[in-house]
Amino acid sequence: MKERKREIKKERKKERKKEREKERKIKERMKERTEERQRERIKRRKRQE
């Protein structure tokens, strides 16, 4: 019984880690996109002047 609980705990931990990793990747992507947009804005501004 105790072993089983430990196994479940390990599995949950792995799952959580995967989820966190996923979230982190999504955040990274979002950040990159916003930075890219900002660069584009700056380029446009410079062209207009």
Task: Indicate whether 49 pLDDT > 80.
Answer: no
User: What are the b/e assignments for 6-39, b being 16+ CB within 10 Å?
Assistant: eeeeeeeeeeeeeeeeeeeeeeeeeeeeeeeeee
For residue 20, give its domain range.
1-49
Q: Total domain count for the chain?
A: 1
pLDDT digits (tens, 9 = 90+) for 2-47: 899 999 999 999 999 999 999 999 999 999 999 999 999 999 998 8
Distance CA 41, CA 18 (A): 35
What is the pTM (predicted TM-score) of this model?
A: 0.64
